[in-house]
Amino acid sequence: MYPDSDSCRIVPRDQHGISRANISENALKVLYRLKQEGYQSLLVGGGVRDLLLGREPKDFDVATDARPEDVRRVFRNCRLIGRRFRLAHVHFGPEIIEVATFRGGGGELEDDGERHLENGMIVRDNLYGTREEDALRRDFTVNALYYNIADFTVIDYAGGLEDLQAGRLRLIGDDPERRYREDPVRMLRAVRFAAKLGFNIDPDCERPLRAWSSLLGGVPAARLFEEVLKLLHSGAGLVGFEKLRHYDLFRQLFPATEECLAHEDHAFPITFVSRGLANTDRRIQEDKPVTPAFLFALLLWEPVRRRFFTLVDRGLEPHDAMVQAGGEVLSAQLSRVSIPKRFSLPMREVWELQPRFEQLDGKQPHRLAAHPRFRAAYDFLVLRAECGEADPELADWWTRFQEASGLDREGMTGPARKKRRRRRPRAGPGGEGAETRGKPSTGGRDGG
Ligand code: ATP
Ligand code: MG
Protein backbone atom coordinates (compact mmCIF):
# COMPACT_ATOMS: atom_id res chain seq x y z
CA MET A 1 0.00 0.00 0.00
CA TYR A 2 2.90 2.34 0.78
CA PRO A 3 5.94 2.16 -1.46
CA ASP A 4 8.14 3.10 1.49
CA SER A 5 6.35 1.17 4.21
CA ASP A 6 9.40 -0.84 5.38
CA SER A 7 11.19 2.37 6.28
CA CYS A 8 8.42 3.64 8.49
CA ARG A 9 5.95 2.65 11.14
CA ILE A 10 2.29 3.11 10.26
CA VAL A 11 -0.19 3.22 13.10
CA PRO A 12 -3.82 2.53 12.11
CA ARG A 13 -6.60 4.88 13.19
CA ASP A 14 -7.85 2.68 16.05
CA GLN A 15 -4.39 2.53 17.64
CA HIS A 16 -3.62 6.22 18.12
CA GLY A 17 -5.46 8.98 19.87
CA ILE A 18 -5.90 11.52 17.07
CA SER A 19 -9.49 12.42 16.40
CA ARG A 20 -10.67 14.75 13.65
CA ALA A 21 -12.82 16.47 16.27
CA ASN A 22 -9.62 18.04 17.63
CA ILE A 23 -8.38 19.32 14.28
CA SER A 24 -9.48 22.78 13.22
CA GLU A 25 -12.22 22.86 10.60
CA ASN A 26 -10.05 24.92 8.30
CA ALA A 27 -7.15 22.51 8.50
CA LEU A 28 -9.56 19.68 7.66
CA LYS A 29 -10.89 21.68 4.70
CA VAL A 30 -7.37 22.09 3.33
CA LEU A 31 -6.48 18.44 3.94
CA TYR A 32 -9.63 17.12 2.22
CA ARG A 33 -9.43 19.52 -0.68
CA LEU A 34 -5.84 18.58 -1.55
CA LYS A 35 -6.76 14.91 -1.33
CA GLN A 36 -9.74 15.46 -3.65
CA GLU A 37 -7.38 17.05 -6.14
CA GLY A 38 -5.33 13.87 -6.14
CA TYR A 39 -2.45 15.03 -3.96
CA GLN A 40 -0.99 13.46 -0.87
CA SER A 41 -2.28 15.41 2.08
CA LEU A 42 -1.07 15.04 5.64
CA LEU A 43 -0.98 16.93 8.87
CA VAL A 44 2.59 17.24 10.19
CA GLY A 45 4.74 18.89 12.83
CA GLY A 46 3.55 20.41 16.06
CA GLY A 47 -0.12 19.71 15.27
CA VAL A 48 0.38 15.94 15.16
CA ARG A 49 2.81 15.99 18.08
CA ASP A 50 0.45 17.98 20.30
CA LEU A 51 -2.64 15.96 19.35
CA LEU A 52 -0.80 12.74 20.25
CA LEU A 53 0.17 14.29 23.58
CA GLY A 54 -3.41 15.35 24.24
CA ARG A 55 -2.45 19.02 24.04
CA GLU A 56 -4.21 21.68 22.06
CA PRO A 57 -2.13 22.48 18.95
CA LYS A 58 -1.12 26.08 18.44
CA ASP A 59 -1.47 25.84 14.68
CA PHE A 60 -1.80 23.22 11.96
CA ASP A 61 0.79 22.55 9.30
CA VAL A 62 -0.01 20.53 6.19
CA ALA A 63 2.49 18.62 4.04
CA THR A 64 1.76 17.62 0.47
CA ASP A 65 3.36 16.59 -2.80
CA ALA A 66 1.54 19.49 -4.52
CA ARG A 67 3.93 22.29 -5.51
CA PRO A 68 3.30 25.74 -4.04
CA GLU A 69 1.89 26.95 -7.38
CA ASP A 70 -0.47 23.96 -7.43
CA VAL A 71 -1.64 24.80 -3.93
CA ARG A 72 -2.33 28.34 -5.01
CA ARG A 73 -4.42 27.09 -7.92
CA VAL A 74 -6.54 24.95 -5.59
CA PHE A 75 -7.21 27.67 -3.00
CA ARG A 76 -8.41 31.15 -3.81
CA ASN A 77 -7.49 32.37 -0.32
CA CYS A 78 -3.85 31.38 -0.71
CA ARG A 79 -0.61 33.36 -0.67
CA LEU A 80 2.88 32.11 -1.39
CA ILE A 81 5.51 33.34 1.05
CA GLY A 82 9.18 32.90 1.91
CA ARG A 83 12.40 32.83 0.01
CA ARG A 84 14.38 30.52 2.22
CA PHE A 85 11.44 28.11 2.23
CA ARG A 86 8.64 28.69 -0.22
CA LEU A 87 5.37 27.98 1.52
CA ALA A 88 1.69 28.37 0.77
CA HIS A 89 -0.44 30.12 3.36
CA VAL A 90 -4.15 29.41 3.10
CA HIS A 91 -6.05 32.18 4.89
CA PHE A 92 -9.33 31.73 6.75
CA GLY A 93 -9.92 35.02 8.55
CA PRO A 94 -7.39 35.08 11.38
CA GLU A 95 -6.43 31.43 10.94
CA ILE A 96 -3.63 30.51 8.54
CA ILE A 97 -3.02 26.94 7.47
CA GLU A 98 0.56 26.53 6.33
CA VAL A 99 0.99 24.13 3.42
CA ALA A 100 4.52 22.94 2.64
CA THR A 101 5.63 20.82 -0.28
CA PHE A 102 7.67 17.71 0.63
CA ARG A 103 11.33 18.63 0.70
CA GLY A 104 14.48 16.58 0.38
CA GLY A 105 17.61 17.10 2.43
CA GLY A 106 17.84 14.36 5.07
CA GLY A 107 21.09 13.00 3.66
CA GLU A 108 24.36 14.81 2.98
CA LEU A 109 23.60 18.36 2.08
CA GLU A 110 24.85 19.73 -1.15
CA ASP A 111 24.71 23.14 -2.65
CA ASP A 112 22.88 23.38 -5.93
CA GLY A 113 20.40 25.64 -7.65
CA GLU A 114 17.59 24.95 -5.23
CA ARG A 115 19.56 24.66 -2.04
CA HIS A 116 22.19 27.11 -1.02
CA LEU A 117 24.60 26.63 1.87
CA GLU A 118 26.88 29.18 3.50
CA ASN A 119 29.44 27.81 5.98
CA GLY A 120 27.34 24.68 6.30
CA MET A 121 24.22 26.72 7.02
CA ILE A 122 21.14 26.37 4.82
CA VAL A 123 20.19 29.77 3.47
CA ARG A 124 17.83 28.59 0.76
CA ASP A 125 16.07 25.27 0.52
CA ASN A 126 13.51 24.63 -2.16
CA LEU A 127 14.61 21.20 -3.24
CA TYR A 128 11.51 19.05 -3.34
CA GLY A 129 11.54 15.42 -2.31
CA THR A 130 9.55 12.39 -1.25
CA ARG A 131 7.52 12.13 1.91
CA GLU A 132 10.25 10.12 3.59
CA GLU A 133 12.88 12.68 2.65
CA ASP A 134 10.56 15.36 3.94
CA ALA A 135 10.37 13.58 7.29
CA LEU A 136 14.12 13.17 7.59
CA ARG A 137 14.97 16.82 6.91
CA ARG A 138 12.81 17.97 9.82
CA ASP A 139 14.37 18.91 13.13
CA PHE A 140 13.23 16.61 15.95
CA THR A 141 11.82 13.10 15.64
CA VAL A 142 8.65 14.13 17.50
CA ASN A 143 8.11 16.88 14.92
CA ALA A 144 8.34 14.48 11.99
CA LEU A 145 5.10 12.55 12.53
CA TYR A 146 2.35 12.64 9.89
CA TYR A 147 -1.38 12.17 10.13
CA ASN A 148 -2.65 10.98 6.77
CA ILE A 149 -6.11 12.25 5.86
CA ALA A 150 -6.44 9.47 3.24
CA ASP A 151 -6.73 6.69 5.83
CA PHE A 152 -6.34 8.44 9.22
CA THR A 153 -3.09 6.62 10.01
CA VAL A 154 -0.09 8.11 11.79
CA ILE A 155 3.20 7.68 9.93
CA ASP A 156 6.57 7.67 11.70
CA TYR A 157 9.84 7.59 9.75
CA ALA A 158 12.22 8.65 12.50
CA GLY A 159 11.24 6.94 15.74
CA GLY A 160 9.22 9.94 16.87
CA LEU A 161 6.46 7.86 18.49
CA GLU A 162 8.93 6.17 20.80
CA ASP A 163 10.54 9.49 21.69
CA LEU A 164 7.13 11.03 22.30
CA GLN A 165 6.34 8.24 24.72
CA ALA A 166 9.69 8.71 26.47
CA GLY A 167 9.36 12.51 26.63
CA ARG A 168 12.60 12.85 24.68
CA LEU A 169 13.72 15.45 22.17
CA ARG A 170 16.08 13.96 19.64
CA LEU A 171 17.36 15.49 16.44
CA ILE A 172 16.83 13.33 13.39
CA GLY A 173 19.99 11.69 12.03
CA ASP A 174 23.17 10.63 13.74
CA ASP A 175 25.11 13.88 13.63
CA PRO A 176 23.46 16.48 15.90
CA GLU A 177 26.29 18.96 15.43
CA ARG A 178 25.75 18.99 11.70
CA ARG A 179 22.03 19.55 12.21
CA TYR A 180 22.74 22.54 14.46
CA ARG A 181 25.27 23.90 11.99
CA GLU A 182 22.79 23.62 9.10
CA ASP A 183 20.35 25.70 11.09
CA PRO A 184 21.47 27.08 14.47
CA VAL A 185 17.89 28.11 15.27
CA ARG A 186 17.34 24.43 16.04
CA MET A 187 19.22 25.09 19.28
CA LEU A 188 16.53 27.56 20.30
CA ARG A 189 13.85 25.15 19.15
CA ALA A 190 15.37 22.44 21.37
CA VAL A 191 15.05 24.78 24.33
CA ARG A 192 11.54 25.84 23.34
CA PHE A 193 10.16 22.31 23.05
CA ALA A 194 11.99 21.14 26.17
CA ALA A 195 10.43 24.03 28.11
CA LYS A 196 6.97 23.80 26.59
CA LEU A 197 6.55 20.03 26.58
CA GLY A 198 8.62 19.31 29.68
CA PHE A 199 10.76 16.92 27.57
CA ASN A 200 14.38 16.00 28.13
CA ILE A 201 16.87 16.82 25.44
CA ASP A 202 18.68 13.67 24.34
CA PRO A 203 22.27 13.82 25.74
CA ASP A 204 23.86 13.70 22.28
CA CYS A 205 21.74 16.67 21.23
CA GLU A 206 22.20 18.49 24.51
CA ARG A 207 25.99 18.26 24.62
CA PRO A 208 26.74 20.56 21.67
CA LEU A 209 24.36 23.30 22.81
CA ARG A 210 26.76 25.20 25.03
CA ALA A 211 29.77 24.60 22.80
CA TRP A 212 27.98 25.72 19.68
CA SER A 213 25.97 28.59 21.09
CA SER A 214 28.05 31.12 19.16
CA LEU A 215 26.57 29.76 15.90
CA LEU A 216 23.54 31.89 16.71
CA GLY A 217 25.68 34.88 15.80
CA GLY A 218 25.31 33.87 12.15
CA VAL A 219 21.52 33.88 12.17
CA PRO A 220 19.75 36.98 10.83
CA ALA A 221 18.54 39.19 13.68
CA ALA A 222 15.00 39.29 12.29
CA ARG A 223 14.69 35.52 12.40
CA LEU A 224 15.98 35.49 15.96
CA PHE A 225 13.30 37.99 16.93
CA GLU A 226 10.63 35.54 15.73
CA GLU A 227 12.23 32.63 17.56
CA VAL A 228 12.81 34.50 20.81
CA LEU A 229 9.19 35.55 20.75
CA LYS A 230 7.96 32.00 20.15
CA LEU A 231 10.11 30.80 23.00
CA LEU A 232 9.29 33.46 25.57
CA HIS A 233 5.62 33.75 24.57
CA SER A 234 5.09 29.98 24.57
CA GLY A 235 3.44 29.95 27.99
CA ALA A 236 6.65 28.41 29.37
CA GLY A 237 8.78 31.53 28.99
CA LEU A 238 10.34 31.45 32.44
CA VAL A 239 11.58 27.87 32.06
CA GLY A 240 12.70 28.74 28.53
CA PHE A 241 14.67 31.72 29.82
CA GLU A 242 16.34 29.60 32.51
CA LYS A 243 17.28 26.95 29.96
CA LEU A 244 18.64 29.56 27.56
CA ARG A 245 20.91 30.80 30.31
CA HIS A 246 21.81 27.28 31.35
CA TYR A 247 23.12 26.51 27.83
CA ASP A 248 24.72 29.95 27.52
CA LEU A 249 22.46 30.70 24.56
CA PHE A 250 20.98 33.74 26.28
CA ARG A 251 24.31 35.55 26.07
CA GLN A 252 24.21 35.26 22.28
CA LEU A 253 20.77 36.82 22.17
CA PHE A 254 20.96 39.45 24.92
CA PRO A 255 24.64 40.07 25.63
CA ALA A 256 24.14 43.28 27.63
CA THR A 257 21.48 41.71 29.83
CA GLU A 258 23.55 38.58 30.41
CA GLU A 259 26.49 40.75 31.38
CA CYS A 260 24.36 42.42 34.08
CA LEU A 261 22.84 39.17 35.32
CA ALA A 262 26.15 37.36 35.45
CA HIS A 263 27.90 40.04 37.51
CA GLU A 264 25.16 40.99 39.90
CA ASP A 265 25.58 40.78 43.65
CA HIS A 266 21.97 41.66 44.32
CA ALA A 267 19.12 39.40 43.33
CA PHE A 268 16.70 41.96 41.98
CA PRO A 269 17.66 42.04 38.28
CA ILE A 270 17.18 38.30 37.91
CA THR A 271 14.11 38.41 40.16
CA PHE A 272 12.70 41.16 38.00
CA VAL A 273 13.09 39.26 34.73
CA SER A 274 11.91 36.00 36.26
CA ARG A 275 8.83 37.53 37.83
CA GLY A 276 7.99 39.39 34.66
CA LEU A 277 8.24 36.20 32.64
CA ALA A 278 6.16 34.30 35.18
CA ASN A 279 3.47 37.01 34.89
CA THR A 280 3.62 36.70 31.11
CA ASP A 281 3.26 32.91 31.31
CA ARG A 282 0.25 33.34 33.57
CA ARG A 283 -1.36 35.82 31.20
CA ILE A 284 -0.87 33.46 28.27
CA GLN A 285 -2.37 30.57 30.23
CA GLU A 286 -5.35 32.81 31.04
CA ASP A 287 -5.68 33.82 27.37
CA LYS A 288 -4.93 37.46 28.20
CA PRO A 289 -3.09 39.58 25.65
CA VAL A 290 0.68 39.95 25.87
CA THR A 291 2.96 42.23 23.89
CA PRO A 292 6.54 41.91 22.70
CA ALA A 293 7.00 45.54 23.76
CA PHE A 294 6.62 44.64 27.45
CA LEU A 295 8.69 41.48 27.05
CA PHE A 296 11.66 43.31 25.58
CA ALA A 297 11.25 46.21 28.01
CA LEU A 298 11.63 43.62 30.76
CA LEU A 299 14.62 41.84 29.26
CA LEU A 300 16.61 44.98 28.52
CA TRP A 301 15.71 46.99 31.62
CA GLU A 302 18.78 46.21 33.70
CA PRO A 303 21.30 47.47 31.12
CA VAL A 304 19.08 50.51 30.49
CA ARG A 305 18.74 51.22 34.22
CA ARG A 306 22.49 51.05 34.78
CA ARG A 307 23.25 53.28 31.85
CA PHE A 308 20.57 55.69 33.08
CA PHE A 309 22.32 56.13 36.41
CA THR A 310 25.69 56.64 34.80
CA LEU A 311 24.20 59.40 32.66
CA VAL A 312 22.35 60.99 35.61
CA ASP A 313 25.60 60.99 37.55
CA ARG A 314 27.15 62.84 34.65
CA GLY A 315 24.53 65.52 35.09
CA LEU A 316 21.82 64.62 32.59
CA GLU A 317 18.21 65.26 33.52
CA PRO A 318 16.36 62.01 34.27
CA HIS A 319 14.18 62.17 31.18
CA ASP A 320 17.10 62.85 28.86
CA ALA A 321 19.17 60.20 30.57
CA MET A 322 16.43 57.61 30.07
CA VAL A 323 15.93 58.52 26.42
CA GLN A 324 19.64 58.23 25.78
CA ALA A 325 20.14 55.06 27.80
CA GLY A 326 17.20 53.40 26.03
CA GLY A 327 18.50 54.42 22.63
CA GLU A 328 22.00 53.14 23.29
CA VAL A 329 20.92 49.79 24.69
CA LEU A 330 18.42 49.30 21.90
CA SER A 331 20.84 50.05 19.09
CA ALA A 332 23.40 47.61 20.49
CA GLN A 333 20.68 44.99 20.88
CA LEU A 334 19.37 45.30 17.32
CA SER A 335 22.48 43.68 15.86
CA ARG A 336 21.60 40.47 17.75
CA VAL A 337 17.85 40.25 17.93
CA SER A 338 16.03 42.84 15.90
CA ILE A 339 12.93 44.42 17.38
CA PRO A 340 10.47 45.93 14.91
CA LYS A 341 9.71 49.61 15.47
CA ARG A 342 6.09 48.93 16.31
CA PHE A 343 7.37 47.19 19.43
CA SER A 344 10.54 49.13 20.18
CA LEU A 345 8.72 52.49 20.28
CA PRO A 346 6.23 51.47 22.99
CA MET A 347 9.03 49.61 24.77
CA ARG A 348 11.04 52.83 25.01
CA GLU A 349 7.98 54.72 26.20
CA VAL A 350 7.59 52.27 29.08
CA TRP A 351 11.17 53.06 30.10
CA GLU A 352 10.87 56.78 29.53
CA LEU A 353 7.78 57.03 31.72
CA GLN A 354 9.56 55.46 34.72
CA PRO A 355 11.24 58.66 35.97
CA ARG A 356 7.93 60.49 35.59
CA PHE A 357 6.36 58.29 38.27
CA GLU A 358 8.53 60.14 40.76
CA GLN A 359 6.72 63.43 40.18
CA LEU A 360 3.72 63.48 42.43
CA ASP A 361 2.86 67.18 42.58
CA GLY A 362 0.65 69.43 40.55
CA LYS A 363 -0.56 68.43 37.12
CA GLN A 364 2.16 65.89 36.35
CA PRO A 365 0.46 62.78 37.78
CA HIS A 366 -2.78 63.65 35.98
CA ARG A 367 -0.94 64.02 32.70
CA LEU A 368 0.97 60.82 33.19
CA ALA A 369 -2.21 58.87 34.01
CA ALA A 370 -3.67 60.02 30.68
CA HIS A 371 -0.67 58.82 28.69
CA PRO A 372 -1.57 55.99 26.27
CA ARG A 373 1.29 53.88 27.65
CA PHE A 374 0.45 54.61 31.29
CA ARG A 375 -0.97 51.19 32.13
CA ALA A 376 1.99 49.23 30.78
CA ALA A 377 4.42 51.63 32.45
CA TYR A 378 2.54 51.35 35.76
CA ASP A 379 2.63 47.54 35.59
CA PHE A 380 6.35 47.86 34.96
CA LEU A 381 6.76 50.10 38.01
CA VAL A 382 4.81 47.66 40.19
CA LEU A 383 7.06 44.84 39.04
CA ARG A 384 10.14 46.93 39.83
CA ALA A 385 8.76 47.69 43.28
CA GLU A 386 7.95 44.04 43.95
CA CYS A 387 11.59 43.19 43.30
CA GLY A 388 12.88 45.92 45.60
CA GLU A 389 14.34 47.96 42.78
CA ALA A 390 11.78 50.79 42.98
CA ASP A 391 10.14 52.28 46.03
CA PRO A 392 7.10 50.18 47.04
CA GLU A 393 5.48 53.29 48.59
CA LEU A 394 5.69 54.99 45.23
CA ALA A 395 3.98 52.08 43.49
CA ASP A 396 1.30 52.09 46.23
CA TRP A 397 0.77 55.80 45.76
CA TRP A 398 0.08 55.22 42.06
CA THR A 399 -2.23 52.32 42.81
CA ARG A 400 -4.21 54.57 45.14
CA PHE A 401 -4.13 57.43 42.67
CA GLN A 402 -5.71 55.27 40.00
CA GLU A 403 -8.40 54.02 42.33
CA ALA A 404 -9.18 57.52 43.64
CA SER A 405 -12.02 59.69 42.39
CA GLY A 406 -11.27 62.97 40.61
CA LEU A 407 -11.58 65.03 43.80
CA ASP A 408 -9.42 62.69 45.86
CA ARG A 409 -6.83 62.77 43.11
CA GLU A 410 -6.67 66.55 43.41
CA GLY A 411 -6.06 66.12 47.14
CA MET A 412 -3.24 63.66 46.49
CA THR A 413 -1.40 66.02 44.18
CA GLY A 414 -2.40 69.44 45.56
CA PRO A 415 -0.23 71.96 47.40
CA ALA A 416 -0.87 70.20 50.73
CA ARG A 417 1.30 67.33 49.58
CA LYS A 418 4.64 67.39 51.22
CA LYS A 419 7.32 67.61 48.63
CA ARG A 420 8.53 64.16 48.01
CA ARG A 421 12.12 63.19 47.69
CA ARG A 422 13.12 60.77 45.06
CA ARG A 423 14.41 57.53 46.42
CA ARG A 424 16.99 56.17 44.19
CA PRO A 425 16.43 52.57 43.11
CA ARG A 426 18.83 50.28 44.86
CA ALA A 427 22.04 49.28 43.25
CA GLY A 428 24.53 46.71 44.42
CA PRO A 429 27.85 47.71 45.98
CA GLY A 430 30.13 48.65 43.15
CA GLY A 431 27.18 48.73 40.80
CA GLU A 432 26.38 51.88 38.94
CA GLY A 433 24.57 54.34 41.11
CA ALA A 434 25.87 52.82 44.34
CA GLU A 435 27.91 55.84 45.31
CA THR A 436 24.99 58.23 45.10
CA ARG A 437 22.42 56.01 46.77
CA GLY A 438 20.08 57.92 49.01
CA LYS A 439 20.84 61.22 47.37
CA PRO A 440 17.86 63.52 47.04
CA SER A 441 15.90 63.70 43.86
CA THR A 442 17.71 64.77 40.75
CA GLY A 443 14.86 67.06 39.98
CA GLY A 444 11.18 67.21 39.29
CA ARG A 445 11.42 67.94 35.63
CA ASP A 446 8.56 66.90 33.40
CA GLY A 447 9.70 63.99 31.35
CA GLY A 448 7.16 64.42 28.56
P1 ATP B 1 4.60 24.93 17.38
O2 ATP B 1 3.70 24.16 18.24
O3 ATP B 1 5.37 25.95 18.13
O4 ATP B 1 3.95 25.46 16.14
P5 ATP B 1 5.97 23.24 15.52
O6 ATP B 1 6.78 22.00 15.74
O7 ATP B 1 4.73 23.07 14.73
O8 ATP B 1 5.72 23.87 16.92
P9 ATP B 1 6.72 25.17 13.54
O10 ATP B 1 7.70 26.26 13.64
O11 ATP B 1 5.29 25.47 13.34
O12 ATP B 1 6.92 24.29 14.84
O13 ATP B 1 7.25 24.21 12.37
C14 ATP B 1 6.45 23.16 11.83
C15 ATP B 1 7.32 21.95 11.54
O16 ATP B 1 8.31 22.29 10.55
C17 ATP B 1 8.12 21.43 12.71
O18 ATP B 1 7.37 20.56 13.52
C19 ATP B 1 9.27 20.71 12.02
O20 ATP B 1 8.87 19.46 11.54
C21 ATP B 1 9.54 21.63 10.83
N22 ATP B 1 10.55 22.65 11.14
C23 ATP B 1 10.34 23.89 11.61
N24 ATP B 1 11.48 24.55 11.78
C25 ATP B 1 12.46 23.72 11.42
C26 ATP B 1 13.88 23.82 11.35
N27 ATP B 1 14.50 24.95 11.73
N28 ATP B 1 14.57 22.74 10.90
C29 ATP B 1 13.93 21.62 10.52
N30 ATP B 1 12.61 21.46 10.57
C31 ATP B 1 11.87 22.49 11.01
MG1 MG C 1 3.40 24.64 14.08
Q: Whose CA is nearest to atom 7 of ligand 1?
A: 46
Residue ranges for the chain with pLDDT beneath 70: 1-6, 84, 105-126, 415-448
141-184 tens-digit pLDDT: 999 999 999 999 999 999 999 999 999 999 999 999 999 999 99
Tell me the C-alpha distance between 312 and 434, whole Å.
Answer: 12
How many A from CA of 96 to the centre of ligand 2?
Answer: 11
pLDDT at 140: 98
How many A from CA of 233 to the centre of ligand 2?
Answer: 14
pLDDT at 115: 61
pLDDT at 405: 81
The string of DSSP codes covering 21-84 is: GGS-HHHHHHHHHHHHTT--EEEETHHHHHHHTTPPPS--EEEESS-HHHHHHH-TTEEEE-SS
pLDDT at 397: 95
302-320 tens-digit pLDDT: 999 999 999 999 999 999 9
Q: Which atom of ligand 1 is nearest to the CA of 100?
A: 16
Tell me the C-alpha distance between 322 and 304, whole Å.
Answer: 8
pLDDT at 113: 55
Does residue 446 carry a catalytic annotation?
no
Pocket-testing residue among 48, 61, 62, 170, ligand 1, by greatest number of atoms within 8 A of Cβ: 61
Mean pLDDT for the chain overall: 89
DSSP 267: S
Which residues are near ligand 1 (CB < 6 Å)? 45-46, 58-59, 61, 138-139, 143-144, 183, 185-186, 230
DSSP 97: E
DSSP 5: G
Tell me whether residue 198 is exposed, middle or buried, using C-beta atoms within 10 angstroms of its C-beta: 0 to 12, 13 to 18, 19 or more: exposed
To the nearest 10°, report the CA torsion of 400, 405, 406, 410. -50
How many A from CA of 208 to the centre of ligand 2?
Answer: 25
